[in-house]
Amino acid sequence: MSKKEEILNAAIILFAEQGFNNTSITEVAKATNASTANIFYHFKNKEELFLAALENVKDGIMTHFDEYLRGRYFENGLQMMEEIIAFYLYLAGAMQQWFLLLHSHYPYRLALVNDLCRNHLEQTYNSLVDIFERAVVIGKEDGSIADVDSRKTALVIFSMVEGVVRFKIYNLYDTGALFYELIKSCNKILKYKE
């Protein structure tokens, strides 16, 4: 791993755990045995380091999902949705820094004035909702899912899962005990037509 990658990985963890404004360049430097000047050699300024971290998180999530989905066979759309949710919750636990970074307020504030930041966030979320939507569309075709609005239903289920992820990474509720309830609720939303 190059020094640049090392700095980037340390930045992701520190920004995620302590926030952007509470993480100093000196801390990132100490964590990687680099000088502060070296960090500014690899990254123009602190904001650009954060954007690189956010992009890295985006790529990481996408790569993991692509790898998970590639070549995998699902019985039907409903089962696909269940497994996607399970994988999403697994990933949020295994790569907690990524989701802490995505759940922090800073990038959303930055996105209001920085196009690159807005693009990273949009791409991340749209790709994820797309995966959820794909499961709904497939399920509607094979009959395992009722005739619902694919996009909106995918969004509601995604927001439900994101709510649980937030409880998990913020230590609010024991989400392990909530998992089966989440899957059951998802099933009801998808199976029944109202």
Partner DNA sequence: TGAAATACTGACTGATTAATCAGTCTAATA
Partner DNA sequence: TATTAGACTGATTAATCAGTCAGTATTTCA
What does the binding site for DNA look like in residue numbers (CB under 7 A)? 2-4, 23-27, 33-38, 40-42, 45-47
Selection from 61, 136, 67 nearest residue 103 by Cα: 61
Q: Does 163 bind a second copy (CB under 8 A)?
A: yes
Q: Report what 100 binds from a second copy, DNA, none; CB cut-off 5-8 Å by kind.
A: a second copy
Pick the piece of the chain touching a second copy (CB under 8 A) from 2-10, 16-24, 81-89, 136-144: 16-24
By CB under 8 A, residue 21 contacts a second copy:
yes
| Size of residue set near a second copy by CB under 8 A | 48
Q: Does 181 bind a second copy (CB under 8 A)?
A: yes
- Cα–Cα distance measured from residue 70 to residue 170, given in angstroms and rounded to the nearest whole number: 31
Residue with Cβ nearer DNA (13 or 25): 25
Nearer to DNA, 25 or 100 (CB): 25
Residues in 96-115 that interact with a second copy by CB under 8 A: 100, 103-106, 108-109, 111-112
Answer for the pair 46, 25: CB distance below 8 angstroms, yes or no: yes
Q: Name the burial class of residue 149, with classes exposed (0-12), middle (13-18) and buried (19+) by CB atoms within 10 angstroms of its CB.
A: exposed
Minimum distance of a second copy from residue 83's CB (angstroms): 18
d(CA 80, CA 113): 37
Minimum distance, C-beta of residue 48 to DNA, in the bound complex (Å):
8
- Distance separating alpha carbons of residues 106 and 66, to the nearest angstrom: 27
d(CA 47, CA 114): 10
Written as one letter, the residue type at 136 is: V
33 three-state secondary structure: coil
